[in-house]
Amino acid sequence: MNRLQGKRCVVTGGGSGIGRASAQRLAGEGASVLVVGRSVDNTNETVSLITAAGGRAAALVADATSESDVQAMVRRCLGKFGGLDVFFANAGTPGTNAGIFDQTVEEWNEVWRINVISCMLAIKHAGLHMAEQGAGSIILTSSAGSLRANAGAISYSASKAAVNNLTQTAANAFTGKGVRVNAVLPGLVETQMTRKVFEYARERGKADRIGHMTPLQRAGQPHEIAAMVAFLASDDSSFVTGQLYAVDGGISSTHPHGRIPV
C-alpha cells in the first residue's frame, strides 16, 4: 500500500521494538521517516533496514525529553524532507516494580520525564508547525497498563494514564486547527523494554503461558502495533482524534483474574 505517499514523519524511540517496526511500516507505505533514538548504532540500523527495503529515511540521535532536541527534530524533518505531517512520540521507560512503600520521587521524576514530558514536547513543537499548515497527526504511545492495575509498574501505569488524558486534552486544544492527536495502548509485546519478562518465562519453561490471559491467548508483536500507528498516520483516520486505541489482544476488555472457566 502507498497510503502514506508524500507524508513526512518523525518517530522517536525508533532504534528498536515498536518504534523500529513503526518506522519500517510508515516507510513501507510510502512515507519519509526521520528515525530518532538515543543509540547511534540502533538508530542507524533502523534507517539501514528501511533504505535496504527501498524506503526513505534519515537518522537523528537526540533526547525526546529535551525541548531543544525536540525542536531540532522538527527542524531536521522540515529541512530533510520538506515538511512534517506525522509525529509518533514513542520514547518510553518501564520504571521499576518496587512496592508502593518503596517508590521514590527520583523514579517518578524520571518516568514522568520520559513518558509524559516527551509527549508534551512533541505536541507543543510538532503541533505548532502542524497548526500553521492546517493539518497533521500526532500519535502518542500509552499502554494498556494505563487502564487498570497489575499490568506494569506503578509509576509506569500512572504516567501512561497521564498520556491518555494528554491525548484527549491536546486533541481539544487543537480545535479548528486540523491537527489530530491519538494514542496507541500496546498490551504485552516483546520488545527491548519487556525482554526480561519473556526471557524469565522461557527459562522457567513457561513460554506457552505468555499472554495466556488475553482472549487471543498470546503476546503481541511490534508490527501489530505498527499497523495501528500507520492507520492513525494515514488519511484513513481523518475523522479520528482524541482517541485511545488498545492493541492488546483484548486484555483490557475484561477482568482476567475474575474470568469464569468455560
Rounded distance between C-alpha atoms, residue 174 and residue 190, angstroms: 34
Catalytic residue among 87, 88, 156, 174: 156
Asked if 65 and 93 touch (Cβ cutoff 8 Å), the reply is: no
Residue listed under C-alpha cell 518465562: 201
Query: Which cell numbers hold the place of 246?
Result: 488498545
Cross-strand bridge partners of residue 41: none
**Active site (annotated) includes residue 200:** no
Active-site amino acid positions: 156
